[in-house]
Amino acid sequence: MSDSETSRFVHPLSRQVPMKPIEEIYWLRFYGCLAVFSFHLLDRLNQHHDNVYLDLLRIPTVVGTPTFIFMSTFLFSMRYASRIPDGFLSRRIVYVLVPYVAYGLIYSVGNSVGRKMEGGDSQLVNNLVEYLLFAGWHGYFLLIAVQFYFLYWLFVRFELERALPPGPWLIVGSLISAGYWCLGYWLAWEPPGYLSWIVPLGWIYVFFLALLLARHYPRLGQVKALRTLSHPGWLGACLVLLVVLTLPDWLEYSSKEPWVVPLFVIYILVMMRYLHGRPATPWVKKVNEYSFGIYLAHPLFFSLVDVANGWWDLGPLPYTLLMILIGLAGSVGLNMAANRFELGGLLFGKRLVIH
> What distance in Å separates the CA atoms of residue 9 and residue 75, rounded to the nearest whole number?
8
Dmax (CA) of the chain: 64
Q: Which pLDDT score, from 0 to 100, does residue 12 have?
A: 38
Q: Which pLDDT score, from 0 to 100, does residue 49 have?
A: 86
> What distance in Å separates the CA atoms of residue 128 and residue 133, rounded to the nearest whole number?
8
pLDDT band at 19 (very low <50, low <70, confident <90, very high): low
CB atoms within 10 A of CB 313: 8
Given a cut of 50, whether residue 115 has pLDDT beyond it is yes
Q: Which pLDDT score, from 0 to 100, does residue 163 have?
A: 95
> What distance in Å separates the CA atoms of residue 349 and residue 351, rounded to the nearest whole number?
6
pLDDT band at 15 (very low <50, low <70, confident <90, very high): very low
| Cross-strand pairs, 2 | 353
Q: Between the CA of residue 324 and those of 34, 68, 137, what are the distances in Å?
A: 11, 21, 20
Q: What single-letter DSSP state applies at residue 39?
A: H
> What distance in Å separates the CA atoms of residue 355 and residue 346, rounded to the nearest whole number?
21
Of the given ranges (4-13, 103-112, 156-165, 293-302), which has the lowest mean pLDDT?
Answer: 4-13
Given a cut of 50, whether residue 4 has pLDDT beyond it is no
pLDDT band at 3 (very low <50, low <70, confident <90, very high): very low
Given a cut of 70, whether residue 339 has pLDDT beyond it is yes
Segment 235-251, tens digit of pLDDT: 999 999 999 999 999 99
> What distance in Å separates the CA atoms of residue 183 and residue 257, rounded to the nearest whole number?
11
Average pLDDT, integer, range 19-24: 81
Q: Which pLDDT score, from 0 to 100, does residue 119 have?
A: 79
Given a cut of 50, whether residue 135 has pLDDT beyond it is yes
Contact 205, 261 (CB under 8 A): yes
Closest alpha carbon to 299 in 107, 112, 62: 107
Average pLDDT, integer, range 143-172: 95
Backbone angles phi, psi at 50, to 5 degrees: -80, 115
> What distance in Å separates the CA atoms of residue 342 and residue 97, rounded to the nearest whole number?
16
Backbone angles phi, psi at 353, to 5 degrees: -95, 110
> Which residue type is seen at 328?
L
> What distance in Å separates the CA atoms of residue 206 and residue 269, rounded to the nearest whole number?
12
Given a cut of 60, whether residue 8 has pLDDT beyond it is no
Contact 130, 108 (CB under 8 A): yes
Contact 349, 296 (CB under 8 A): yes
Q: What single-letter DSSP state applies at residue 218?
A: T
Segment 161-210, tens digit of pLDDT: 999 999 999 999 999 999 999 999 998 888 999 999 999 999 999 999 99
Contacts of 6 (CB under 8 A, 6+ apart): 25, 29, 71, 75, 352
Contact 276, 298 (CB under 8 A): no
Of the given ranges (56-65, 117-126, 146-155, 247-256), which has the lowest mean pLDDT?
Answer: 117-126
pLDDT band at 114 (very low <50, low <70, confident <90, very high): confident
Given a cut of 90, whether residue 118 has pLDDT beyond it is no
> What distance in Å separates the CA atoms of residue 191 and residue 168, rounded to the nearest whole number?
32
